[in-house]
Amino acid sequence: MRHYKVYTKNENAWDSMLEAISKAESSILFEMYIFVDDTSDTHDFIEILSEKAKSGVKVKIIFDSLGSSEISEKSINKLRDAGVELFFFNTLFRHTHRKILIIDEHIAFIGGINIKKFFKKWNDLLVRVDGKVVKYILRSFAKVYKNCGGKDKFVLKYDKKLRVQKGRLSFFEHFATKNSFRLNKYYSDKIENAREKILIITPYFMPNHWLIKALKKASKRGVKVEIIIPRVATHPKIANVANYFYMHKLSKYGITFFLTKEMNHSKIMLVDNKEGILGSQNIDILSFDLNMESGVFFTEKDLISELIEVTENWKKDSESYSPKMRSTHLFDHFLEFCFSVFEQAIKFLNKITA
């Protein structure tokens, strides 16, 4: 019996999330980077969360203070008046970039999907899981809940040590100030040990220097490195500057870039078609060195086969990057300097705010 289901479109994922919320009997735990209350015409999260809280279901919500800054005071009051315990994660320089929904302590949704009307038609990846892995997601939510000032023992009871995860699908958490899990080590190790193929999908591509070196080395030793990026990143558009700069730079080393016609917000890496990681992390400096992230890593064969099929279809609906798409810019040396300074600044912020 499968313990997961994959969603590749925002609106389909929202459908399933709302259905699960509507069926909740005891608890709804919800952590989101971007939540905007402008989807009510088709996906009224505010209304259904309020109704579930009024019915006696425990509803605990954590929104990031920056990512979810557009939510109206009216919706905030509606949730709280209904009995929802709502926090805004507000820590200097740091953000919860995670996307987590847990229903009745045994079903969880995790991946890269945010909630805002503008994102409705985007391609993205979210996975619904059940089974033992949910215990680890509960524990991670409880840690952030506690950090926000939450005091309900119903949640805090999950903030405890657990045995090392075993299985073909496992939860990961990434807190840049802690050693509970480091995306940096996972990506470094898997890319270094890849033998045949590395496939990465990311909407935003501003890799750390160590990651650039790792990808170059992999390509040099004969590993096929493919990276899927939207032709135009529509939110925020400024991301296209970095995307095209680094595509232009790395394509010279035999790395192939596929540009999707539609906006693709997925965050995934598959290695040798045998294992992978799917979550909230972008291939950028913020995800690796500052933000809180989460997701799953997996060796489940059926899941890998499904994701290969999905990514191959996205590749068919894309075009390969050519250096002709971007002439060498007069300011490239300046851009490289700026990105290098930005990386060092983020590392410094990480250190002083640890």
Q: Indicate whether this model's pTM tops 0.75.
A: yes
In a domain, 173, yes or no: no
Q: Looking at 117, 136, 166, which one is the last position of a domain?
A: 166
Question: How confident is the model over 158-170, as a mean pLDDT?
Answer: 89
Do 150 and 190 fall within a single domain? no
Residue labelled with tokens 């999905």 = 310
The two structure tokens encoding residue 312? 């191959």
Question: How confident is the model over 330-353, as a mean pLDDT?
Answer: 90
Residue labelled with tokens 């810019």 = 329
Among 118-127, 157-166, 175-184, 214-223, which is the least confidently predicted range?
A: 175-184
What is the percent of the chain where pLDDT is above 90? 88
Q: Check residue 326 and give its pLDDT.
A: 84
Asked if pLDDT for residue 354 goes beyond 80, the answer is no
Do 321 and 231 fall within a single domain? yes
Long-range contacts of 156-160 (CB under 8 A, 24+ apart): none
Q: Looking at 99, 132, 166, which one is the last position of a domain?
A: 166
Q: Which domain range does residue 311 map to?
A: 183-352
Do the Cβ atoms of 173 and 144 come closer than 8 Å?
A: no
Q: How many domains does the chain have?
A: 2
The two structure tokens encoding residue 63? 């929104």
Q: Looking at 123, 140, 166, which one is the last position of a domain?
A: 166
In a domain, 174, yes or no: no
C-alpha to C-alpha distance for 224 and 255, rounded to whole angstroms? 7
Q: Check residue 300 and give its pLDDT.
A: 95
Identify each DSSP E strand in 122-182 by its residue range: 123-130, 169-174
* CATH code, domain with 31: 3.30.870.10
How does pLDDT run across 227-282, given as a tens digit for each residue? 999 999 998 899 999 999 999 999 999 999 999 999 999 999 999 999 999 999 99
The number of residues making up the chain comes to: 354
Do 211 and 153 fall within a single domain? no
Identify each DSSP E strand in the chain by its residue range: 4-9, 27-32, 58-64, 85-89, 99-103, 107-111, 123-130, 169-174, 197-201, 205-206, 224-230, 256-260, 268-271, 275-279, 283-284, 293-298, 318-320
pLDDT band for 181, please (50, 70, 90 cuts). Answer: low
In a domain, 210, yes or no: yes
Do 268 and 340 fall within a single domain? yes
Do 63 and 116 fall within a single domain? yes
Do 348 and 209 fall within a single domain? yes
Do 157 and 72 fall within a single domain? yes
Do 92 and 229 fall within a single domain? no
pLDDT band for 180, please (50, 70, 90 cuts). Answer: low
Average pLDDT, the chain: 95
